[in-house]
Amino acid sequence: MNENTLMKVANGLSANMQIMKSPGLLHGKMGAAIFLYLYARYSGCSVYSDLADYQMKEIFIARYNLPGSFANGMSGIGWGIHYLIREEFINGNENILADIENRFYHIIRQNANEEMLDVGLYFALCRPVLMNDLLSSLLAKQLTGLLSSGCHPLGILNKVMALSLRMPIHQVHPYEKMLFHAVLYAIEAQLYRLSDLMCCKDFMRAFGEKSANNVWDKLSGRCETILQDRDLRKDRLETVWQRLVFFDGKIDINYDTDWMSELVNNLIKSITEPDLYLSGGLSAIGFDILLNDKLR
């Protein structure tokens, strides 16, 4: 059944790529193109990788005129390009995006906001060789400023934790208490989507292991309590990109095969642009199946 569902996902994306306006990772062509490359390898059918090659040419041309954000901008596309190079779907090296990294440094220096987080994650995930003391110190200062600037939804705080996990612990320590209380407040004030909460408990487990502070484990247990007895099948599709990007596809959450197949059948009857996205759409469904199958 998985093979049939995956084929429907791949064909649905192939037939409707033209309706996606953004070249971005989560809400555009990059997320769909990555899935098509993976599906071409999985199925042995080069038609899908040929289509992905064509889309990558358009994405690469558009990269200079985009914001720095992960969802629709250059940091997400940068992650996608590095992922495709690593997995040997496209040729290139880590210098392929060097021309836009100076712009990223400017964003980090000038902003203590979500775009700064996204750009910091680009460096941490794709260019760890550049995460020296100077850049880590700058990021730590900006993260402190972000956390002290008010209340933040859990989705943003998840990114703070994801970035902190890849920074030296001595840089994280000064703002760890602020981060903990920000996460606690977001949970108690219900400043989250269920998908944010699902990923948050995994970030907190990893963060607790790094910091050796068991308060994170207790907070992770609080997340699990809230999530108990909920139907999370649809919400988990919003977590696929986070598992793929932040955890490198290593966290396994069993899915309902029959429900997934029925959802795909319903979506392809009348596809709209969001139905294609890596954040909750057909691309997310395809990745979810491939990631779980890979872990078995």
Distance CA(93)–CA(246), nearest Å, equals: 21
- For residues 224 and 238, state if they share a domain: no
Handedness of CA 218, 195, 227, 260 (dihedral sign): negative
Residue-level pLDDT at 96: 74
99 phi/psi in degrees, rounded to 5: -70, -20
160 and 204 both lie in a single domain? yes
Same domain, 73 and 36: yes
> Taking the model in full, what pTM does it have?
0.92
Of 63, 125, 56, nearest in space to 94 by CA: 125
pLDDT for the residue 116: 94
| Residues 197 and 167 grouped into a single domain | yes
Same domain, 258 and 275: yes
Same domain, 239 and 250: yes
Q: Report yes or no on 111 lying in a domain.
A: no
Is 237 found in the same domain as 226? no
CB 120 within 8 A of CB 161: no
> Domain check: are 215 and 238 in the same one?
no
Task: Render each residue's pLDDT in the chain as its tens digit; 296 residues.
Answer: 689 999 999 999 999 999 999 999 999 999 999 999 999 999 999 999 999 999 998 888 776 678 889 999 999 999 999 999 999 999 877 677 777 788 888 889 888 899 999 999 999 999 998 888 899 999 999 999 999 998 999 999 999 999 999 998 889 999 999 999 999 999 999 999 999 999 999 898 888 887 767 788 889 889 999 999 999 999 999 999 999 999 888 876 677 889 999 999 999 999 999 999 999 999 999 999 988 876 44
Q: Are residues 155 and 247 in the same domain?
A: no
Domain residues for the domain of 7 are 1-92+233-296
Residue 242 confidence (pLDDT): 93
102 located within any domain: no
**Is residue 68 a contact partner of residue 107, using CB atoms and an 8 Å limit?**
yes
Task: Show which of 172, 201, 230 is a domain's final residue.
Answer: 230
Give a yes or no: residue 114 inside a domain. no
Domains contained in the chain, number: 2
